[in-house]
A and B are shown apart, each in its own frame.
Chain A
């Protein structure tokens, strides 16, 4: 183990520069976020992720944000276990009827002020699961959504851009 750790000291870091976030992209992503929101968030974002019936594709890419290439922590963004600690609810999936209550209760448990980010095409409007007896059809059917990150699933870079949009468009807008 020592050998492996020692080698890493001399290896160049794998972590990549932050993704390009031209203002147009950020503006589009964060169009619905009120400007006052950014002042409250500062440079720190505690995220509680809830799978509301996704296929687990989005979860794989959200997980990837923690690997050495994206290293989410350096942006002040971190995933937390308790909704009580969270600023942001990150929701994936078309919201199944069986998950609706759990999602709502998680949302309620997050202290104000709070923001909701939906991830993936089916979180927008149910995607290819829309119309099923078992899905509500999109996160916005259940709670107000501040920001949506499209894709099936969106790549980690796209999810990262979306989360940065929450944090940084505000700094630009101040």
Chain B
């Protein structure tokens, strides 16, 4: 077994890529990497393409080393990863739709994000004009007796994002779920190509509204890595503070929403109040409820004044006063437990294969957290636990979120106690380079890769939401559950449509 470092040493290194190495490899080394993925030694962090190059971000599970390998494909095709390693499947269909590069060996010829509605083909590649042709979409065939199909979406009953779910059920039991996504595709990566860093940072903060802080942080860190600049210490700490407030707000809201999908409205009402308090505190401290556009490449656009400290202290003591009773309520309500325990089971094997991050991975025993590994400031100076459960059901994912609420509150305490004074930002130099960042959003690890030119313009930026690897797992977790439990299981994953579709 060769390590990722060995492969990196063999390849032709791109000197401008920071902080992790990127190397050009040949088809043979590319295939070797696929073997390592299928054997489970390495994990896939991302797969994307530039005009005639395909990039694969990898992590060595043994050493936690990270690297990017790039394969030039002048003939516009490359050996498929997805035909042997399922997590890459939809990423390759995305590459085909956006860049026009063909994965050789991939049997699935169906488009993914391109629904035949655009007036351009391969917008990130040749960008050839063509007239929209919606040829329909063929779902995977299902065979068997007494099966019926239930099509759901893209417009759902509640106030949620659009996507299509095709259920095949035997009576009440789901035997297969197939997702069709792409409805919220806005062409963010195309808009970023050629944009200034400021414009691109705004777009990054609008990939997934619930993770706007995490995305802005990931984009800022990738940009700063590409420019090889250090930002003031206070900015690092303020960023972490916002990231934890965002995590807190999302977990509080979702714990309630999961219970609501099991028809237990009392939890929803109380958690909704706590979430609202967090958002109001965020508004009081940083001037925006979701803290959008507050993190900028180079530092921070806002600071925290003494009144902000008081607001956060009051907020935390209020949540600490009320949250334990809600946890107790969740734990002691048999009718609610009856719904959440053992439903929507995800196995550790699948969580590992798909390198599932966040509560989806940690609820099934995969202990990964980008704040720990690869880690970033200031988390190296903070004490926190990464909660892990092994049951893999809805209940486990709820408990991970409950524990993370507690951890985030402890982190906010520590950050407020230790935050240094000083300037907020540094000006950005004009410099060409490539940078990458891996940031722990509330859902899991967000990957941002950016390629800048020397005029301060983004040549290409790729953003990979944790949902890209979690959506397929939902299809696996729902199998064998009843149709009526789908909202519950779906909410326990709470994947982002917009972050996936971009």
Contacts and interface: CB of A to CB of B under 8 A. Distances in A.
B208 A56 contact: yes
Contacts of A60: 209-210, 253, 290
Size class of the A contact interface (CB-based, 8 Å): 35 or more
Given A14-B273, A58-B209, A68-B272, A53 B186 contact: yes
B182 interface: yes
B203 A51 contact: no
A99 interface: yes
B159 A49 contact: yes
A110 to B, nearest CB: 12
Interface string A78-92: 010110000000000
Contact of A132 (B190, B202, B289): B190
A81 B272 contact: no
Most-contacted residue by chain B among A54, A55, A93 (CB, 10 A): A55
Interface in A132-158: 132-135, 152-153, 155
Interface in B197-228: 199, 202-203, 206-210, 212
Interface string B149-161: 0000011011111
B276 A133 contact: no
B292 A152 contact: yes
Contact of A133 (B118, B154, B182): B118
Contacts of B190: 132-134
B184 A53 contact: yes
A63 B155 contact: no
A57 B212 contact: yes
B186 A132 contact: yes
Contacts of A108: none
A63 B253 CA distance: 10
Contacts of B273: 14, 67-69
Nearest to B269: A68
Interface string A96-119: 111111110010000000000000
Contacts of A82: 157
B120 interface: yes
B118 A57 contact: no
A133 B119 contact: yes
A64 interface: yes
B183 interface: yes
A70 B112 CA distance: 39
Contact of B203 (A3, A54, A98, A128): A128
A94 interface: yes
B155 A102 contact: yes
Contact of B187 (A52, A100, A134): A134
A160 interface: no
Contacts of A96: 183-186
Nearest to B153: A102
A99 B184 contact: yes
B275 A55 contact: no
A5 interface: yes
A9 interface: no
Nearest to A93: B184
A1 B333 contact: yes
B279 A64 contact: yes
Interface string B469-499: 0000000000000000000000000001110
Interface of A: 1, 3-5, 14, 49-64, 66-69, 79, 81-82, 93-94, 96-103, 106, 122, 128-129, 131-135, 152-153, 155
Given A1-B332, A55-B207, 20 more contacts: A50-B155, A52-B162, A55-B206, A57-B292, A58-B209, A64-B275, A67-B273, A79-B159, A96-B183, A98-B113, A98-B183, A101-B117, A106-B155, A133-B123, A134-B186, A135-B186, A135-B187, A152-B206, A153-B209, A155-B289
10 contacts: A4-B270, A51-B159, A52-B162, A55-B206, A64-B272, A64-B276, A98-B117, A99-B183, A129-B188, A132-B186
Interface of B: 113, 115, 117-120, 123, 132, 154-155, 157-162, 182-188, 190-191, 199, 202-203, 206-210, 212, 253, 266, 269-270, 272-273, 275-276, 279, 283, 289-290, 292, 325, 329, 332-333, 496-498
